[in-house]
């Protein structure tokens, strides 16, 4: 009787819990597996909780001592049947959870043979993504319904890559290559969060994953691939835009308005203050930002840009220097 009440209560509360949107939107195949395990575990926990509560409540009312009853309860010497039941049932439930988790983990680790491989570089406090054709970007763009494998590297300390809507989390470890498989199922924009305390800027170590229709992604990656191989002005502009330089710097040729770092319209004056030739100064400021700091600006520029492929770094330097000279 108690058991059947508990099962019914467990089923009803699990159903109620299931239809409340506690979890972030589901946007990857991997998340579907993770959610399945989550709900199996939740159903088991809720049912056990309902059963235990039912037994306790029943006992509290049924066996309550009378107000003036100070006698001891009857002595009890164990109950073999009950003991077997409360050992065997939890063991079975834990095995069910374990097997379900193992299946989902094994499936979620498989990237698929034709997976799109994207290199991810994590550093205090930014993410950088590099695609197979060497396009680099500060925002992660993915084609929907295609297997993707992220290959993560960290340049300084531990970081962790997490998009709640994709479900999986992976650490980026210095000196080690780690992998994360994603198969996006929904077009949209999702937050990328660093989930390993990595320093003062940890909370702002965020980016965005943009899941695009496959054709749109193909067009984007082809176009950006062409741009970075174009003349330095064009290639530099592409590198500047894709890597999010404008988010922190004012630069008229790119129409950018970022106020975090020094204005890139005044590179010549800054180079003079640093006592270095313009081009050397610009290159150094990208790969080793702390070498010279403009007064009043904190050193928050990530060093991830030192990882840019050489041609792209050259193009970016040319873009910044060239426009500086012609723009006066
Ligand atoms: Cu990187 Cu926290």
Tens digit of pLDDT for each residue in 15-58?
Answer: 887 788 888 899 999 999 999 999 999 888 888 888 888 888 88
Does the beta carbon of 194 lie inside 6 Å of ligand 1? yes
Whole-number pLDDT of residue 328: 36
Rounded distance from Cα 298 to ligand 1 centre (Å): 18
What are the residue boundaries of the structural domains of the chain, listed by start? 2-61+80-108, 116-214, 229-325
Does the beta carbon of 196 lie inside 6 Å of ligand 1? yes
Average pLDDT, the chain: 87
Q: For residue 177, is pLDDT > 90?
A: yes
**pLDDT tens digits, residue range 115-162?**
999 999 998 888 999 999 888 888 999 999 999 999 999 988 999 999
Beta-sheet strand order (sheet of 188-194): 140-143, 206-212, 188-194, 159-162, 169-172
Mean pLDDT, residues 196-217: 92
Does the beta carbon of 313 lie inside 6 Å of ligand 1? no
Rounded distance from Cα 303 to ligand 1 centre (Å): 14
Q: How far apart are CA 269 and CA 133, in angstroms?
A: 36
Question: Which pLDDT band holds residue 261 (cuts at 50, 70, 90)?
Answer: confident
The number of C-alpha atoms within 13 Å of 146 and in the hemisphere containing its C-beta is 20
Q: Which one-letter DSSP state was computed for residue 299? A: S
Rounded distance from Cα 96 to ligand 1 centre (Å): 35
Atom number, ligand 1, closest to the C-alpha of residue 201: 2
Percentage, residues of the chain above pLDDT 90? 38
Rounded distance from Cα 217 to ligand 1 centre (Å): 28
Radius of gyration of the chain (CA): 29
CB atoms within 10 A of CB 74: 5
Question: Which pLDDT band holds residue 324 (cuts at 50, 70, 90)?
Answer: very low
Burial label for 312, CB within 10 Å (0-12, 13-18, 19+), is buried
Indicate which residue's Cα is closest to atom 1 of ligand 1. 159
Does the beta carbon of 323 lie inside 6 Å of ligand 1? no
At the top level of CATH, the class of 116-214 is mainly beta
Q: How far apart are CA 27 and CA 292, in angstroms?
A: 43
**pLDDT tens digits, residue range 79-122?**
899 899 989 999 999 999 999 999 999 999 888 788 999 999 99
Rounded distance from Cα 308 to ligand 1 centre (Å): 20
3-state secondary structure of 159: strand
CB atoms within 10 A of CB 160: 20
Beta-sheet strand order (sheet of 126-130): 136-137, 126-130, 116-123, 148-154, 178-182
Whole-number pLDDT of residue 325: 45
Domain 229-325: assigned CATH number: 1.10.760.10
Q: For residue 312, is pLDDT > 90?
A: no
Does the beta carbon of 154 lie inside 6 Å of ligand 1? no
Tell me whether domains 116-214 and 229-325 share a fold.
no
The CA–CA distances, whole Å, from 255 to 48, 231, 241, 251 equal 60, 20, 10, 6
Name the residue with higher pLDDT: 193 or 228: 193
Q: How far apart are CA 209 and CA 215, in angstroms?
A: 17
Name the pTM for this structure: 0.76
């Amino acid at each position: 009787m108690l058991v059947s009440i508990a099962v019914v209560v467990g089923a009803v509360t699990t159903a109620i819990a299931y239809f409340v949107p506690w979890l972030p939107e589901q946007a990857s195949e991997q998340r579907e597996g993770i959610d399945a395990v989550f709900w199996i575990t939740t159903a088991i926990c809720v049912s056990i909780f309902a059963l235990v509560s039912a037994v306790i409540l029943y006992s509290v009312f049924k066996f309550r001592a009378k107000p003036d009853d100070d006698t001891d309860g009857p002595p009890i010497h164990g109950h073999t049947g009950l003991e077997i039941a409360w050992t065997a049932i939890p063991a079975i439930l834990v095995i069910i959870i374990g097997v379900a988790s193992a299946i989902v983990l094994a499936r979620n680790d498989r990237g698929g043979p034709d997976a799109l491989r994207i290199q991810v570089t994590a550093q205090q406090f930014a993410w950088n993504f590099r695609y197979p054709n060497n396009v680099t970007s500060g925002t992660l763009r993915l084609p929907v319904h295609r297997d993707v494998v992220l290959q993560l590297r960290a340049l300084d300390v531990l970081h962790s890559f997490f998009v709640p809507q994709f479900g999986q989390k992976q650490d980026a470890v210095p000196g080690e290559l780690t992998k994360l498989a994603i198969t996006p199922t929904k077009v949209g924009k999702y937050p990328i969060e660093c989930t390993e305390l990595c320093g003062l800027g940890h909370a702002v170590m965020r980016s965005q994953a943009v899941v695009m229709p496959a054709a749109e992604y193909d067009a984007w990656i082809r176009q950006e691939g062409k741009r970075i191989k174009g003349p330095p002005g064009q290639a530099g502009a592409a590198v500047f835009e894709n890597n999010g330089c404008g988010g922190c710097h004012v630069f008229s040729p790119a129409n950018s308005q970022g106020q975090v770092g020094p204005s890139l319209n005044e590179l010549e004056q800054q180079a003079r203050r640093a006592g270095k030739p313009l081009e050397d100064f610009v290159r150094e400021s990208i790969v080793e930002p702390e070498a010279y700091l403009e007064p009043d600006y904190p050193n928050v520029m990530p060093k991830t840009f030192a990882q840019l492929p050489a041609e792209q770094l050259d193009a970016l330097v040319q873009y910044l220097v060239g426009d500086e000279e012609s723009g006066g």
